[in-house]
Amino acid sequence: MVSFFSGVHFSSPQVQPTIEQIDQSFGATHPGVYNSEKQLFVLNFRGLSFDFPIESKFEPKYAHGLGSLQFPNGSSPVVSRMCIYTGSSLVDTKAPPLPIICFHGNCYLDCLEVLRERNVTKGLKFLLVTEGNGPGKLIDPRKKIVERIVQFGDSSQDVISALGCPGKDILLDANTHQVKKFILHTNFPGHYNFNMYYRCECKIPVMVENTKPKLIQTGESDDEEVRVITAYSKWDSVQNYLIRPDQQPVILNRSASTNTSNPFGSTFCYGVQDLIFEVMQNQHIASVTLYRPKSSVS
């Protein structure tokens, strides 16, 4: 692959993308960052980052600037990874929103909020994005936000009128034809059902015991606080305030009827309040099941 900037090649079969070559081509406008854990030197520009594998013995020398890094002849680090992104930070970058021209009359889920009261799930609120027309311009498409709510006990007709966004399963009771369970999928790679669902951009509020000391006494209850779990939350960061240390998961091992092998391995299911979290071995949450306890059924 041939790469160049401002008409000057910095990576080609004839030009090695060494740390000196990158500095010469782009000019280090910001100091780089050394990751001692991964032994990587990261040189950042706006919308562009370069990773160089560097041994830890060179880290103290970098305190005097990029020019102070002296390497033996022929051993200058070469780019191991180049990242191109929008914005000024690779960590904070996000995928751009879907252009309206790609909607083609379809409806997409922008956000899903789990409606809960006193740690009991009542239903789901869907914020859907679809095509609309701007005022006075019938041929000029605009994004239109539509809000829909589906609750436990809703009929199948209620669900059909509000349905239209992927990323979740809504289970109906075979006898009453009413909603009895929701399943939200995060669609992370490495899961048995990967790429079968769109990712559900969900927000799940849970009330947990407030462990922070009270600095000021107020008339309001400070014993509990609300934490929000999203599709990107990792289990090791939320389990401390959701479950007891001695609570053991249920191991789930999926397999097809025609193929008993599962290359992705088992997942672990934790029951919390009226929620069931399915957790992958890399601590990503694969799915969340919300059910209606029998005690809340009237």
CB 182 within 8 A of CB 124: yes
Q: Residue 84: is it exposed, middle or buried by C-beta count within 10 angstroms (0-12/13-18/19+)? A: exposed
User: What is the average pLDDT across 189-199?
Assistant: 88
Please identify which residue in the block is written with the tokens 């034809």. Answer: 177
Higher pLDDT, 58 or 253: 253
Contact 82, 49 (CB under 8 A): yes
In tens, the pLDDT along 230-270 reads 999 999 989 988 887 778 899 998 876 666 677 888 999 99
Does residue 279 have a pLDDT over 60? yes
Confidence of residue 63 (pLDDT cuts 50, 70, 90): very low
Q: Tally Cβ neighbours within 10 Å of residue 237.
A: 10
Strand partners of residue 244? none
Dihedral angle of Cα 50, 55, 58, 59, to the nearest 10 degrees: 70
129-185, pLDDT tens digit by residue? 888 765 555 555 678 888 999 999 999 888 887 765 445 788 888 888 899 999 999
Does pTM surpass 0.85?
A: no
- Looking from the CA of 221 toward its CB, the CA atoms found within 13 Å total 7
Res. 60: pLDDT tops 60: no
Q: Using CB atoms within 10 A of its CB, is residue 223 exposed (0-12), middle (13-18) or buried (19+)? A: exposed
Average the pLDDT over 199-218 and give the result: 72
**What pLDDT was estimated at residue 68?**
52
The C-alpha atoms of residue 109 and residue 146 are separated, in whole angstroms, by 10
Pick the more confident residue, 187 or 132. Answer: 187
| pLDDT score of 110 | 87
Largest CA distance in the chain: 79
Element containing residue 267 per DSSP (H, E):
strand 267-272
Mean pLDDT score across all residues of the chain = 80
Instruction: For 173-183, give one letter per residue: b (16+ CB within 10 A) or e.
Output: eeeeebbbebb
Tell me the H-state helices in 37-180.
156-162
Residue 34, pLDDT above cutoff 80:
no
- E-assigned strand segments in 26-167: 33-35, 40-45, 48-53, 81-84, 108-117, 120-134, 137-151
DSSP states of 170-220 as a string?
A: EEE-TTT-BEEEEEEE---TTSTTTTSS----EEEEEEEE--S--SS--SS
Q: What separation in angstroms does the CA of 118 have from each of 7, 121, 142, 271, 296?
A: 62, 8, 38, 17, 12
